[in-house]
Structure 1
């Protein structure tokens, strides 16, 4: 099982080329689900779990992996299905999101597929606003196309772990409060939960949030302003973009912006749950101005304030 991820370090070159790799797994007999390989630390057979009295109903227990205690979330239960039965057939996908490590209990783990973000599509609108998907795609299985549902892990985690949007004392620069009023920020993120977290942090400060769910929508919005003769710098204070998004990822989006003279100076912050060290390297490569890990309201506000200081000096 561990061999599935043996070459993960070699896969970093895919990011920045609008490509990704998905780890496919099942939580029932008929449907395929997936998460990005870069979120995955390890895949193992489900070990014996220690109970956590008083924990969330979707947490099955705690696994001890080489001396580290890792909470295990029953993904089947978390996205609205009946809990997994038959523990002997279950596997555990250990992931790192938003600077925390947790595992997801799933059924059979299939294999890894190499995709382009242009092959990744938003969920159909008929799925409603309460589904647990950020995207869908199709793969060939025995000569037939099969639907793959990409899990919105941030939404799953937000329902288990409360994200506090309260700012720490001293973070807000009172001298800049009036400068925030009426400013606009464009955010591009395929997770409705992530967009909500940013909005709930910044809107109380008087900042208007414009939101889109993928990089291509963000690029088209910016291009439209330019085509209308508008200055992107006048329209928005900055762009805050996720790394992983359907149709166009945040790295490709940044590359396209930097190569369009009409908007090449736009301030871009990469806001992602992916590996910090890896993203710092990618920020330098593609030309983002800042990188921050989700979800840190203090750091988010600090980025906004630093940008304002640059403009009013």
Structure 2
């Protein structure tokens, strides 16, 4: 365990190479789950938890960790399973998503694995609309589920998708009807809905894809039909996606003669760990953290 704890914050060098490292853990039962190490701040034995009145049922309690009060989410209960019973024998994964820090209560933490995004696949068809998987992969002959953390957090504390009226007015003055649709690439159903609602408030149409590979295929298909700039305004892409991540998607766009001048906004839940050198290396036009509708709308307005 000590090796995992010591290495969590030192394993970010693979981002941008269509590779990632997953911290494997278990909830109740034998099923393995994974979380991107790049989003993990710390792993620790579950500390003493304090109850809060009228807390959300998925929040087990709060803990004071290094001078910060952090909500601890029972990840098993939040994904429809049984609550984790004995917190004193459990672990907490401290993570940063969408500009907030939270702890995930898990039963056990195993090890860190190095995988290629191409081996991270979308969930099986027919998994149901209430599933919490954003992707799956196979490790040691076993299925590993990668959870849609953005969906879990949105169910506990929904993010507003309302864009400030003054920004909407700015965009309306530009006669957005002359603008072509915006292509969205994101593996989280919640994130896709958030972005789409914010853009529709600006009067923009959206073409929605679920990962970088799907987005690149769509872009190449459009480019084969004629000028991409007559069909599309810009691309908004998540960074972490199965099959092809957002950095690789951006690099592929820049290397394609017909796509290279597209405006690409990387829109990521990797808040607090912006790799500006990498963003510049792959040629992204902008890089913003999820999810703030006004910031997203402003970035889109600037692009238009």
> Could you tell me how far 1:282 is from its partner in structure 2?
1.9
Instruction: Note the alpha carbon deviations across 1:244-284, whole angstroms, 9 max, x for none.
Output: 00000000111111011111001000000114443323211
Return the alpha-carbon distance in structure 2 between the equivalents of residues 69 and 136 of structure 1.
32
3-state SS, counterpart of residue 168 of structure 2: coil
Q: Does 1:137 align with 2:137?
A: yes
Cross-structure match for 2:290: 294
3-state SS, counterpart of residue 12 of structure 2: helix
Q: Contact between 1:283 and 1:291, CA under 8 Å: does it hold in 2?
A: yes
TM-score (norm 2): 0.95
Q: Mean Cα displacement is larger for which, 237-246 or 180-189?
A: 180-189
Q: Contact between 2:168 and 2:202, CA under 8 Å: does it hold in 1?
A: no
> Could you tell me how far 1:15 is from its partner in structure 2?
1.1
Cross-structure match for 1:226: 223
Return the alpha-carbon distance in structure 1 between the equivalents of residues 91 and 199 of structure 2.
39
> Could you tell me how far 1:9 is from its partner in structure 2?
5.2
Q: Contact between 1:279 and 1:291, CA under 8 Å: does it hold in 2?
A: no
Cross-structure match for 1:192: 189
Return the alpha-carbon distance in structure 2 between the equivalents of residues 198 and 82 of structure 1.
32
Q: 1:266 to 1:2 in 2, by over 3 A?
A: farther
TM-score (norm 1): 0.93
3-state SS, counterpart of residue 51 of structure 1: coil
Cross-structure match for 1:66: 66
Q: Does 1:217 align with 2:214?
A: yes
Which structure 1 residue ranges, 5 or more long, are not aligned?
309-313
Alignment of structure 1 residues 257-296 onto 2, 5 Å: 257-296=253-292
Equivalent residue for 1:157, pick from 153, 156, 176: 153
Return the alpha-carbon distance in structure 1 between the equivalents of residues 80 and 134 of structure 2.
15
Return the alpha-carbon distance in structure 1 between the equivalents of residues 262 and 245 of structure 2.
17
Residues matched between the structures, number: 303
Which structure 2 residue ranges, 5 or more long, are not aligned?
none
Return the alpha-carbon distance in structure 2 between the equivalents of residues 5 and 273 of structure 1.
22
Q: Contact between 1:183 and 1:206, CA under 8 Å: does it hold in 2?
A: no
Q: Contact between 2:8 and 2:42, CA under 8 Å: does it hold in 1?
A: no
Return the alpha-carbon distance in structure 2 between the equivalents of residues 197 and 243 of structure 1.
16
> Could you tell me how far 1:168 is from its partner in structure 2?
3.3
Return the alpha-carbon distance in structure 2 between the equivalents of residues 57 and 217 of structure 1.
36
Q: Contact between 1:71 and 1:103, CA under 8 Å: does it hold in 2?
A: yes
Cross-structure match for 1:253: 249
Cross-structure match for 1:242: 238
